Structure 1
Amino acid sequence: MAYYLYVIVLYVNILILSFNNGNNIITINAQNVPSSSRLTNLFPHLSFDKDFTQIFGGSNVQIYGNGSNAKISLDKKTGSGLAAKNRYNHGFFSAAIKLPAGFTSGVLSNWDFFPHNHDEIDFELLGHQKSRNWVLQTNMYGNGSVKTGREEKFRLWFDPTTQFHEYSIIWNSYHIVFLVDNIPVREVLNTPAISSSYPSKPMTLYTTIWDGSPWATNGGKYPVNYKYAPFTVSLGEMEMAGCIHDPNDLSGKSCSKTSNPSSLDPLEGQNFVKLSSQQIKGLQWARSKHMIYSYCRDKRRYKVMPPECKTR
């Protein structure tokens, strides 16, 4: 069985999820995991009942804890999903997530938006075929083009099914950063090499769970096994902060600041323009120890590498 959980996705709409246990996010202090500044402590938590709408799934979406927590489930009838009410020009997005345990091949959970012509920044949590392991995939599409995906995959350094972990995205005009438990795992710099494909449209946040067997497990070779359903993802402590899109502002600059940028402004603040030395060490650790695939290394897929790969 194959199912997918889209965890944090920025599409011409952005999606991010956060999980908690009671009032506290639980983290695992695995051996040799580098320390990192907790950006997720900087922002208030939003409400799933006030700041999100259900997009499909009926009773497979449950909101509880006065809106501070949510569960989305996949069964044989349907998957489910939520979408944020606001769209953003740039920002910081985070959530804590706890994934289904057991045999989850083909289950996909992620955040995304326009299915045919869109920008996208997302975390995709993939139920791995023939095993009980989850694979973390990051991806982005830019400037309304989905012809070329820019995927990278990671083995997580913890069991994402036993406790809540934070998955976060920084997206501004300088770079895109994917973070897991506040540790950067990927940074995409907005350089001339990638500027034509750099996500630039207003986006909203989605969180969905669905059967991705045909797409993710060798054409459905290992489909979702509904014997183990329902597959339930727990969410909590959602954070979204940044430039909320104003449809009346055609310039898209309603949130820009020309002077004295706030240190907590994901659009221009110094905490979000570049990685700190501590974050760079975390990024190097995650990529050297846990990355298992990068599109920039896939010579079978790309006879001519995307231009940004040549600058790495």
Structure 2
Amino acid sequence: MAVWRQKQFLSVLLIFFCLALRVSSHDRHYTAPSVTPLTDSFPHVQVDRGFSKSFGASNIQFLSNGSMATLALDKTSGSGLVSRSRYYYGFFSAAIKLPTGLSSGVVVAFYLSNADAFPHNHDEIDIELLGHDKRNDWIVQTNIYANGSVSTGREEKFYLWFDPTEQHHHYSILWNNYHTVFLVDNIPVREFTHSNKYPSIYPSKPMSVHATIWDGSEWATHGGKYPVNYKYAPFVVSFTNMELSGCISNPTELATVSSCVKAISSSLLDPVNGPEFIKLSQQQIEAMDWARRKLMFYSYCNDRPRFKVLPPECH
């Protein structure tokens, strides 16, 4: 009897240990490194002035005199905003507060794209926030491709080091002729360098900026295992502190860096050609190393089943 009780006790202890391990694997509230906040360097854009409604208009509200917008996903539709201008390089940022509760299958995206103008060979730079089957456990997926489609994407996925549903956090994209950098709360999590060895894979055509929420049930959570549960709808995301500082593309002429510099907003810093944006600082490099060591859990460069031959930039 004593042996049976001992085995029972050990079994219960093992279950509790596994549960604790599972919980801890989703509890990544780290203290992030200190970095110079790029989001303090550029002016905010009134959401209702910088963007127009692209779909799901009835699920979009402008608040705080247009400085904030809420977008909702319900059974009828998702919703989205699109910038009124197209941009050829720049710094683009949004402070986002994600929906609370069970969010599997929900996708919140802040991204650049020109799919409407180039349907067969478009460019795209994505920050996609993917809901999860665990409460408030969102992840961030970054993606970049040029002259292609989603099948040519170069995805990397990261856990967040905070609860993104409690308050607004900054999600930013720096895109210029030197590199593309993805930042979360000003911490660089990924750098994609422009190389003359393979220029065709680097986004080079003017793009619009999008902010959206939509149903990604088919793929977003564990490859589509957990679809959106509309019992918890509507799912509401909030966007504020929008920043659009770059080269506004003139649709009547071919945009170039030299012609676009004049269109950069009245900031002391130039995200297109400024020396601060040509390469990462040592502080940013160290912060990115921290993020990638602790938080990245998928990179296309490590996906051997997907690629028989890894993309050239992975070597």
Which TM-score band applies after superposition, normalised by the shorter structure?
A: 0.7 to 0.9
2:151 is paired with a residue whose SS is coil
Conserved in 1, the CA contact under 8 Å of 2:80 and 2:213?
Answer: yes
Is 2:75 the counterpart of 1:76? yes
Note the 1:153-168 alignment, pairs <5 A: 153-168=157-172
Does the alignment pair 1:57 with 2:84? no
Instruction: Pick one of 166, 179, 184 that aligns with 1:180.
Output: 184
Aligned residue runs from structure 1 range 288-307, under 5 A: 288-307=293-312
Between the two proteins, the alignment pairs up a number of residues equal to: 277
The one-letter code matched in structure 2 to 1:40 is T
CA distance in 2, matches of 1:291, 1:186: 10
Name the amino acid aligned to 1:80.
Answer: S
Is the Cα–Cα contact under 8 Å of residues 70 and 238 in structure 2 kept in the other structure? Answer: yes
Is residue 2:118 matched to residue 1:119? Answer: no
Greater mean deviation of Cα atoms: 219-228 or 161-170: 219-228
Once the two structures are TM-superposed, the CA of residue 56 in structure 1 deviates from its matched residue by 1.1
In 1, are the aligned partners of 2:112 and 2:207 still within 8 Å (CA)? no
Question: In structure 2, the residue corresponding to 1:216 is in which secondary structure?
Answer: coil
Query: Distance between the aligned counterparts of 1:72 and 1:49, measured in 2?
Result: 13
Q: Does 1:273 align with 2:278?
A: yes
Indicate conservation of the 8 Å contact 1:130/1:222, yes or no. Answer: no
Structure 2 residue identity aligned to 1:105: S
1:50 to partner: Cα distance? 1.2
Contact kept, 8 Å, 1:87 with 1:245, in 2: the verdict is yes
Q: Which is higher, the Rg of structure 1 or of structure 2?
A: 2
TM-score by length of 1: 0.85
Corresponding letter in the other structure for 2:273: E
CA displacement 1:152-174 (0-9 Å, x = unmatched): 00000000000110001100000
- Counterpart Cα distance in 2 of 1:109 and 1:99: 8
Report how far residue 146 of structure 1 moved: 3.8
Q: Deviations over 1:111-165 (max 9, x none)?
A: 3541743100010000123554111000011134443110000000000000110
Partner of 1:283: 288
Is the 8 Å Cα contact of residues 130 and 221 (structure 2) preserved in structure 1?
A: no
Aligned to 2:132: 128
Percent identity over the alignment is: 59
Superposed, which structure 2 residues align to 1:7-26 within 5 Å? Answer: none
Greater share of residues in helix: 2
* Conservation of the 8 A alpha-carbon contact between 2:88 and 2:255: no
Cross-structure match for 1:16? none
Matches within 5 A, 1:231-250: 231-250=235-254
Q: Deviations over 1:158-206 (max 9, x none)?
A: 0000011000110000000000111100000101344211000100100
Task: Name the SS of the counterpart of 1:255 in structure 2.
Answer: helix
Per-residue deviation, residues 216-251 of structure 1 (Å, max 9, x unmatched): 245643110000000000110100101110122225
Compared with structure 1, are the counterparts of its residues 31 and 103 closer, same or farther at alpha carbon in structure 2 (3 Å cutoff)? closer
Tell me the amino acid that sits aligned with residue 34 of structure 1: P
Q: Which amino acid aligns with 2:72?
A: S
User: For 1:145 and 1:108, how far apart are their aligned partners in 2?
Assistant: 18
Which one-letter code corresponds to 2:294 in the other structure?
K
Q: How does 1:197-236 map to 2 (within 5 A)?
A: 197-217=201-221, 220-236=224-240
Aligned residues of 1:112 and 1:207 also touching (Cα < 8 A): no
User: Hey, what does 1:13 align to over in structure 2?
Assistant: none
Matched to 1:125, the amino acid is: L
Residue 100 (structure 1) aligned with residue 105 (structure 2): no
Provide closer, same or farther for how the CA distance between residues 271 and 58 of structure 1 changes in structure 2, counting only shifts above 3 A.
Answer: same
Alignment-mate amino acid for residue 244 of structure 1: I
Change in Cα spacing, 1:41 to 1:108, as seen in structure 2 (3 Å) is same
Distance 1:64 1:32, change over 3 A: closer
Separation of aligned partners in 2, 1:35 and 1:99? 24
Question: What secondary structure is seen at the aligned counterpart in 2 of 1:147?
Answer: helix
Hey, what's the Cα distance between the residues in 2 that align with 1:287 and 1:218?
21
By how many angstroms is 1:101 displaced?
1.0
Structure 2 SS opposite 1:119: strand
Name the SS for the 2:219 alignment partner: helix
| Kept after mapping to 1: 8 A contact 2:30/2:162 | no
1:17 aligned residue: none
With the length of structure 2 as denominator, give the TM-score of the two structures. Answer: 0.84
Matched position secondary structure for 1:105: coil
- What is the RMSD computed on CA atoms of the aligned residues? 1.7
Unaligned runs of 5+ in 1: 1-29
- Could you tell me how far 1:109 is from its partner in structure 2? 1.2
